[in-house]
């Protein structure tokens, strides 16, 4: 063996190899899928995409199901088969504009709209009780006719008004460290909420009153209300609810239809039972889009309150689970936005909107499944009804604006570059005509090099 210049034999150096990764974690597909899912959930824009994509899918699927479920009802009323679909599509188009406007508005402007929206909602809700202006639908005096076949339900806008106004009120009190005192937490939040509830109950709309109550308790919980205070307000609300139910034969009949499998005497539980029939006949993948049997006059309100039952009959368990998954994703995204922000107004507003949509979806789906009494509330973004769709889409725009306003989300959106574009400059060389994305990646690669590399 030849020696070195010093005459000494060369030193045999052992090359140290990095330890081999553990095959247990690398070869486990479940763990790899879990890691990928966790990384995807932790991305800054996850909430933004979930809110935008989930609400878009729910609205589009809702338009399809409204068209399918309302054709027979329209024909029975001597109207074109697409009558309700066209009205819903018009409302969805206007709602899409409201969503885009709300998603681009700054937070200060949202706070500035809180009092005007509240004043407008109270005025319209009081106008409902004026003879000749307000009108009754299905026994509830909570509509205003706009002429022709167009009507408006002001109580739906009362939900949005309560969320925005309460969020602004609680945020200002938190900035002044006043929420530690129980009187500042309750006044004037609870009196104003009870005023809205009173205006709604004058028209007999118990379902919307339950949603407003859920929003109120969600805001109190976010504000950190003590347990005694929380239980006290809940006891008062529960007592009033029991009194309102006991004094109304219609509400008592609805309460008795929970879990019913037979229409009963006088067909008192006809709607609840036929909703179960529709879900049961759908099977795994349904009878096919447009092939529902219950919508042929057997199931009342097939395109409004019980559209979820028609969805189960035509799209089966797969369709209903898809709708539930979309609402779960929307709720998760709203909770994430409320939990990660440092702005108190954003936290209360995002929490209020999430409580509103989640509670309304749970009440509607629970009634269709026979687990809750029929409250007469639509499925958000899904059921027919422009009065419910417009404020809900504006509220979704709020969540999108809040999701975009997160610091990490703002940084991620700022770093995004268009896939195709031209570099700004006056030169005509090949480099000036290169896409921006390539230049951005080159700058990142240059910045990532070690200081000694050339």
Mean pLDDT for each 10-residue chunk of the chain (454 residues)? 54 59 63 79 86 96 96 94 96 97 94 95 92 81 82 93 96 92 88 93 89 94 87 85 86 88 87 94 93 92 95 96 97 93 95 97 96 93 95 97 85 68 45 41 39 37
Q: How far apart are CA 96 and CA 390, in angstroms?
A: 8
- Angle of helix 206-222 versus helix 344-368 axis, rounded to 10: 140
Sign of CA dihedral 318, 319, 325, 329: positive
Neighbours of 110 (CB within 10 A): 21
Please choose, from the candidates 249, 194, 210, the residue with its C-alpha nearest in 3D space to the C-alpha of residue 372. Answer: 210
Q: What pTM, to 2 d.p., does this model score?
A: 0.84
Neighbours of 223 (CB within 10 A): 23
CA 268 to chain centre: 33
Amino acid 24: pLDDT = 52
Beta pairing partners, 147: 150
- In degrees and rounded to multiples of 5, residue 151 shows phi and psi of -135, 160
């Amino acid at each position: 063996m030849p020696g070195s210049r010093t005459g000494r034999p060369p030193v045999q150096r052992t090359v140290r190899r990095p330890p081999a990764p553990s095959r247990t974690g690398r070869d486990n597909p479940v763990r790899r899928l879990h890691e990928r899912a966790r990384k995807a959930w932790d991305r800054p824009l996850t909430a933004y995409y979930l809110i935008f994509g989930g609400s878009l899918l729910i609205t589009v699927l809702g338009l399809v199901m409204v068209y399918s479920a309302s054709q027979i009802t329209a024909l029975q009323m001597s109207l074109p088969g697409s009558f309700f679909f066209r009205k819903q599509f018009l409302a969805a188009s206007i709602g899409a504009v409201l969503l885009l406007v709300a998603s681009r508005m700054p937070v200060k402007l949202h706070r500035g709209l809180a009092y005007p929206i509240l004043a407008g909602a109270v005025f319209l809700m009081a106008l409902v009780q004026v003879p000749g202006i307000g009108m009754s639908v299905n026994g509830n005096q909570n509509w205003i006719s706009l002429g022709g076949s167009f009507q408006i339900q002001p109580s739906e806008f009362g939900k949005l008004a309560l969320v925005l106004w309460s969020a602004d009120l609680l945020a200002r009190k938190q900035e002044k460290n006043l929420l530690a005192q129980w009187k500042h937490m309750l006044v004037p939040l609870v009196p104003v909420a009870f005023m809205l509830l009173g205006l709604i109950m004058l028209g007999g709309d118990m379902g919307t009153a339950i949603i407003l109550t859920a929003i109120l308790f969600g805001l109190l919980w976010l504000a950190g209300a003590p347990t005694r205070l929380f239980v006290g307000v809940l006891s008062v609300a529960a007592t009033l609810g029991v009194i309102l139910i006991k004094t109304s034969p219609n509400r008592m009949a609805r309460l008795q239809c929970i879990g019913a499998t037979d229409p009963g005497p006088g067909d008192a539980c006809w709607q609840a039972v036929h909703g179960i029939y529709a879900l049961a006949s759908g099977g795994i993948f349904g009878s096919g889009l447009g092939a529902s049997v219950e919508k042929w006059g057997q199931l009342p309100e097939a395109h409004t309150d019980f559209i979820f039952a028609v969805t189960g009959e035509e799209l089966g368990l797969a369709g209903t689970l898809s709708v539930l998954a979309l609402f779960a994703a929307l709720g998760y995204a709203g909770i994430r936005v409320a939990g990660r922000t440092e702005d108190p107004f954003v936290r209360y507003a995002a929490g209020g909107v999430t409580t509103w949509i989640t509670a309304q979806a749970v009440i509607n789906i629970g009634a269709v499944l026979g687990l809750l009494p029929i409250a007469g509330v639509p499925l958000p973004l899904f059921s027919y009804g422009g009065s419910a769709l417009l404020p809900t889409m504006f509220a979704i725009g709020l969540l999108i604006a809040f999701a975009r306003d997160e610091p990490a989300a703002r940084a991620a959106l700022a770093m995004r570059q268009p896939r195709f574009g031209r570099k700004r400059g006056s030169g005509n060389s090949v480099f000036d005509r290169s896409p921006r994305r390539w230049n951005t990646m080159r700058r990142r690669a240059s910045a990532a090099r070690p200081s000694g590399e050339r």
